[in-house]
Amino acid sequence: MSFLFGRAKEKEPADAVRRVKEQLLKLDNPIARKSAQDEAAKYLRLIRIELQGTQEAEPVPEKVYTIAQETFNYELLPSLATALPKLDFEARKDATTVFNCLLRYTYNNAQPCVLYLASSRPDTIITLVAAYANSETATNSGAILREAFKYESLARVALYDQSFWDFFTYVQGGRFDISSDAFATFKELLTRHKVVVAEFLASNYDEFFTQYNALLNSENYITKRQSIKLLGEILLDRANYNIMTAYVDSPDHLKLCMNLLRDRSKNVQYEAFHVFKVFVANPKKSKPVEGLLIKNREQLLRFLPKFHEDRKGTPHIPI
């Protein structure tokens, strides 16, 4: 009998994957939807426990392997990404954990889930980006995307898809928690894989900074502050040297930065100051940039000594 029960238990993970997939297919049926939600939630919870383990027991490698295989066989991850808005709150949380456990799953020194999504179902990543448009699924998709973007192949999918540009809407619209979550994902995408990002920015320089400068002019204080801070990180990253030199070559960018130095928020001023220093420190200033600095020299010399008197250690910048 113990042998038979043992065999039954081995079938449980694979059976749970199949059952979740079956229930997801029923979610568009108004009559069957509630029952399908309940059943999907039940089996997602079972899968989550098998992948994550409990306080009493670690995950069993054989079961994790089986779940991963069946997840690919049933194409469960693309279906989950699409079905997130139709699941209840707890099921969405479990689906998020299942996604992230599988993304981190390593077998023979490889991440099979990452390889599967990048090579066979990149549309899953695009579906998750689009989920930011739905307030009920935004933070769930964000948690999955930030895990996914730890892997270069999946970050590349998002960077080079047209949906990338939707982030400029997500980071400044709607509820505060959603826009903040979207910005965290946006930042992860633009800072994690430096060589890939540098290539992307070089290929899309004009479009990117046209939209990015709009964030710097945002009426939303949080968006403006986060954006100017991230801009400083991007420009000062060695991998983005060519991007930095192109950016500080523009007098329009300098004007924008100088306007932010006069922002009502001290925090925005402070972050803008770090970007301003990049313009000043550039040894090969363009004539228009040099002319603008000379034209505003007296104003800057009056302004900078008073700048952030409450922040000790602010370095002197020769103009």
58-112 pLDDT, tens digit per residue, is 989 999 999 999 999 999 999 999 999 999 999 999 999 999 999 999 999 999 9
208 with 313, same domain? Answer: yes
| Residue 7: per-residue pLDDT | 41
Residue 267 lies in a domain: yes
19-51 pLDDT, tens digit per residue, is 999 999 999 998 989 999 999 999 999 999 999
Nearest of 99, 91, 92, 94 to residue 125 by alpha carbon: 99
Residues of the domain holding 104? 1-121
Amino acid (one-letter) located at 183: F
Residue 38 lies in a domain: yes
Q: Give the residues of the chain that fall short of pLDDT 70.
A: 1-11, 306-319
Give the residue from 121, 136, 158 where a domain finishes. 121
| Residue 306: per-residue pLDDT | 67
How many CB atoms are located within 10 Å of the residue 212 CB?
A: 17
Q: Give me the number of domains the chain comprises.
A: 2
Helices (H) then strands (E): counts for the chain: 19, 0
| Residue 55: per-residue pLDDT | 83
| Residue 13: per-residue pLDDT | 76
114 with 201, same domain? Answer: no
Residue 130 lies in a domain: no
| Residue 126: per-residue pLDDT | 98
CA 280 to chain centre: 31
Find the CATH number of the domain harbouring 225.
1.25.10.10
Residue 187 lies in a domain: no
Give the residue from 121, 149, 164 where a domain finishes. 121
Give the residue from 67, 100, 121 where a domain finishes. 121
200 with 297, same domain? Answer: yes
Residue 151 lies in a domain: no
205 with 97, same domain? Answer: no
Residue 250 lies in a domain: yes
Residue 144 lies in a domain: no
Return the SS3 of 87. coil
202 with 103, same domain? Answer: no
What does each C-alpha distance from 159 to 70, 112, 198, 209, 226 come to in angstroms?
Answer: 29, 21, 11, 15, 20
Instruction: Tally the C-alpha atoms within 13 A of residue 80's C-alpha that lie toward its C-beta.
Output: 30
Residue 253 lies in a domain: yes
